[in-house]
Amino acid sequence: MKIVVCIKQVPATTAEKRYTDDLRLDRTSAESVINPLDEYAVEMALKLAESGAVDSVAYLSMGPDSAAEALRRALAMGGDEAYLVTDPALAGADEWATARVLAAALDKLAPDVALMGMASDDARGSLVPGAVAAMRDLPLLSYGAELMLADGAARIRRLSASGFDIIEAPLPVVASVTDQVGEPRYASLKGIMAARRKPLETWSLADIGVDPGSLHGGAVTRMLEAKPPEAKAPTERVENVGADEAVAKIADWLAARKLI
């Protein structure tokens, strides 16, 4: 049984995000890392491998040549091999184009489970897992706090407001997991050294059978505007007054903002 974990290289969470003149995210202006939410998918896959539920764990990413660094980082955590789809036609790809390319690559790899994090840290759209499942005509098991594999089926435990749900589908499936699966492991020095020897194959769009012209220039959506969030108003403190006056001031503050 084989799992392919889809990962994305993104700017570091705390880095200042900058945009180019055509409103594309400038990925060269900040440190790049594995999408933090994808690390939970890596951890889930490695736990399944350690339990004997799967025979191999591979990684798949779409991005520029530099995305190979994220794949090597994942291989340092564990796993067997990695694949990078990179092509000039993918510059500025949106969620639809990303899903189309990942779906085609996954069709070629034919895993029992295509596993993803619940969202990417740069866009937070959470759209790609569902789009990939729809394009591959496979069941989607999303937002799992745990993924289990047995008897030719995949099952997730999904937390809800009232407890949790158990959702099951026959293999093959597309699945996504949340940060509830457990803290991702660190890459050891031994793992980092071993990752250098593990296979990492690079594919173009032609290698996965995708015509660049079918991607509509890499995006069917268009960025119209980007601006930083408004600065928060300075904190207001109520100090050195009696309890009754403090209550009155707080009530007035809430009433002025129509919160009470």
- pLDDT tens digits along 194-210: 999 999 999 999 999 99
| Average pLDDT for the chain | 91
Q: Work out the average pLDDT over 172-192.
A: 94
Instruction: Identify the residue whose tokens are 């789809």.
Output: 85
What is the per-residue pLDDT for 234? 82
Q: What is the value of pTM for the model shown?
A: 0.84
- pLDDT tens digits along 127-168: 999 999 999 999 999 999 999 999 999 999 999 888 999 999
The answer on pLDDT for 76 being more than 90 is: yes
3 state SS for the chain? CEEEEECCEEECCCCCCCECCCCCECCCCCCEEECHHHHHHHHHHHHHHHCCCCCEEEEEEECCHHHHHHHHHHHHHCCCEEEEECCHHHCCCCHHHHHHHHHHHHHHHCCCEEEEECCCCCCCCCCHHHHHHHHHCCCEEEEECEEEEECCEEEEEEEECCEEEEEEEECCEEEEECHHHCCCCCCCHHHHHHHCCCCEEEECCHHHCCCHHHHHHHCCCCCCCCCCCCCCCCCCCCCCCCHHHHHHHHHHHHHHCCCC
The answer on pLDDT for 57 being more than 90 is: yes
What is the per-residue pLDDT for 122? 75
Spell out the domain ranges in the chain.
Answer: 2-218
What is the per-residue pLDDT for 147? 97
State the CATH class of domain 2-218: alpha beta
Which position has the higher pLDDT, 24 or 50?
50
Q: Work out the average pLDDT over 47-61.
A: 96
Confidence grade of residue 23 (pLDDT, cut at 50, 70, 90): confident
Contact (Cβ atoms closer than 8 angstroms) between residue 184 and residue 61: no
Q: Work out the average pLDDT over 231-243.
A: 83
Strand partners of residue 3: 57, 113
Which position has the higher pLDDT, 235 or 84?
84
Confidence grade of residue 47 (pLDDT, cut at 50, 70, 90): very high
